[in-house]
Amino acid sequence: MELTKVFTPEQFEQGLESWHWIGLEGKVPVLASLFGDVVFRAEDGFWWLDTIEGSLTRPWEDADAVRAELNTVAGQERYLLVGLVRAAVRQGLAPAAEQVYDFKHPPVLGGEVDLDNLEVIDFAVGLNIAGQIHEQVRDLPPGSPITGITMS
């Protein structure tokens, strides 16, 4: 079972247009998780855009480090949510070529990271929506009630 996907530059561009606020300058998307998280290559290493947390980190120095970690059980669970992917596949929920898994009720808005909250969505659409939501809630204190989310 493949745990990552590669999309076209256009698909990455469409999906990432709402993430400008997080600092993607100089970073080139190279692959995505089945949940729409993105690995980027940059001069200073390899970056991880976590669409559940709404964060951008640089966990890897080079491509070998990315491959090595994503080939471990711990790396697959942390970055690729392999346990949830396997559960979804057992239930017959699998994304088509241009789709990824998404949460019906986003975790940042109180949704659970579990099988009952999963659906599939077009990669670019799901990634773009996640960026819009995270931008709107990023400056709120933890536990703030969230109302009035808008999508463009």
The answer as to whether 148 is a domain residue is: no
Q: Which residue's entry shows tokens 């076209």?
A: 8
Number of domains in the chain: 1
The answer as to whether 143 is a domain residue is: no
How far is the CA of 20 from the CAs of 3, 17, 38, 135, 149, in angstroms? Answer: 26, 6, 14, 9, 18
The answer as to whether 61 is a domain residue is: yes
The answer as to whether 30 is a domain residue is: yes
Is the CB of residue 35 less than 8 Å from the CB of residue 52?
Answer: yes
Determine phi and psi for 89, rounding to 5 degrees: -65, -40
Per residue in 101-140, pLDDT (tens digit) is 999 999 998 899 999 999 999 999 999 999 999 998 887 7
pTM over 0.95: no
Average pLDDT of every residue of the chain: 94
Per residue in 66-101, pLDDT (tens digit) is 999 999 999 999 999 999 999 999 999 999 999 999
Note down the domain range covering 41.
Answer: 4-137
